[in-house]
Chain A
């Protein structure tokens, strides 16, 4: 990193420098803080042969799959939450269309454990899981170990160390000290497990703001390579305290994604023909933005004195 104190760059530069063809990529965030802005830039820069890992591929990976960026998906729950299917994913798996997609499947606990092992730089993680399930029969990376203390046989999953993890967050300072509140998902584990970390935030704040509330820092700047400021970068996902989840969009996605031609037109209009996130938000319109903007409900804070 050229300047450890200022890692702020544009999304275009962050993807150009830190996401390469063939990479193993994690864009995490469980319902909350899913960085669609980064995925759209990856699509625009036409990255290929990516191994995409996420607990819930969600619309974000459906879009990357439809755009031809992915060769493999590592996941644990692949649906449109509360709505139905991920149609690009299903087309790839059921009809090998537009190209085949290799699947590697876990349960949530298994994938969380893989990232925990990756973050701790251990070769595997033990978990009491999978007994009586067919999952180990279709995924030979789910194995077991005999406990050296109790002789109990415990399931194991191997460490997952992505080439790059992209985390969306409410705020960070210029050196990447990142504060998240609301649902954490596996953002911390995914960041610590990765070789490179891009943090995308709603706003960049002065280091004094971070130091005033250090318990809220989930990801320290020492593991961050780039900081990108991209307001509304998680839409149609959400950022607690900034904007609500666009549940209508998730419902609309059913009709957009079911038909391949409509899907392609959507990608053209909202991804390929806009230059950046600001362009996407302009297209989305002010009404939607107003409707989704979070109402204030501020926590009074705590005494850090001694």
Chain B
């Protein structure tokens, strides 16, 4: 998933980075095809070049050698709301068929079965980033037909479409999973399977979503990660394998 997410990034883009796999993906992209990627962390580090794997979004290694340190008011008002962020990464406990994301509660809000961390910057990233890449393993639990709570708006839902709400960003246009990639259909915004990793059975994959998952007419088979990418991930960027299991690479 980290390799695939890295491929979604183009050189020179400005990326709002989260901790974990998104951070790995961004630093892998920087070490390979996108050396001029500008990494911005919500903690305020702009143009970060972390010399160790940051385990928190406010790691001191994000500051050392960075281009700028912004206050969080500036990060959210000028960088994000100001339209300067091209790509935002999001994950979540639940993602529904329209890409709405729940990172707030499982169960009812007032009497939650599980209290999750909440939005953080996710809600505004989903609204303002020019495009959002979601990274999550495809399971029926993680991808129910509807989420228990909409923390971050997707393509469509009970409040309307992105166009009807005048949201500035395009929302979750790519969902990178452990079996392939989902993309919203242009006519209704429903996520459908558009690409799979080599050896993945699309029929099996359909069972991994909580709704009848559509498979795109032209299904792409993605290339296997290169030796260099795997080496960078396993030996350089995440040498203690904090974030990558074997199957994640």
Contacts and interface: CB of A to CB of B under 8 A. Distances in A.
Interface of A: 30-32, 55-56, 75-79, 81-82, 85, 89-90, 93-94, 105-109, 112-113, 115-116, 127-135, 138, 181-186, 188-189, 238, 240, 244-245, 247, 250, 294, 297
B153 A81 contact: no
B76 A112 contact: yes
Nearest to B162: A132
A102 to B, nearest CB: 11
B193 interface: no
Interface stretch (B5-13, B116-124, B199-207): B116-124
B234 to A, nearest CB: 19
B96 to A, nearest CB: 12
Contact of B104 (A94, A134, A297): A134
Nearest to B58: A31
Interface of A, helix, strand, loop or mixed by DSSP: loop
Contacts of A116: 73
Contacts of B157: 132
A113 B150 CA distance: 21
Given A78-B117, A134-B150, A240-B63, 15 more contacts: A31-B56, A79-B117, A81-B19, A81-B55, A93-B115, A107-B118, A108-B120, A131-B166, A131-B167, A132-B160, A132-B167, A134-B104, A135-B151, A183-B62, A250-B55
B124 A31 contact: no
A140 to B, nearest CB: 13
A55 B57 CA distance: 13
B119 A184 contact: no
A246 to B, nearest CB: 11
A132 B150 contact: yes
Contacts of A186: 71-73
B56 A105 contact: no
A134 B154 CA distance: 12
Contact of A133 (B42, B77, B115, B123): B123
Nearest to B166: A131
Task: Sort A-B residue pairs by CB-CB distance and give the 3 closest, nearest first.
Answer: A31-B58, A132-B153, A77-B120
A108 B60 contact: no
Given A108-B72, A109-B76, A127-B81, A30 B167 contact: no
Given A128-B128, A133-B152, A183-B45, A93 B56 contact: no
Given A82-B55, A129-B123, A30 B72 contact: yes
A183 B58 contact: yes
B124 A78 contact: no
Contacts of B44: 30, 183-185
A185 B104 CA distance: 22
Contact of A184 (B71, B112, B118, B124): B71
A245 B7 CA distance: 31
Nearest to A94: B115
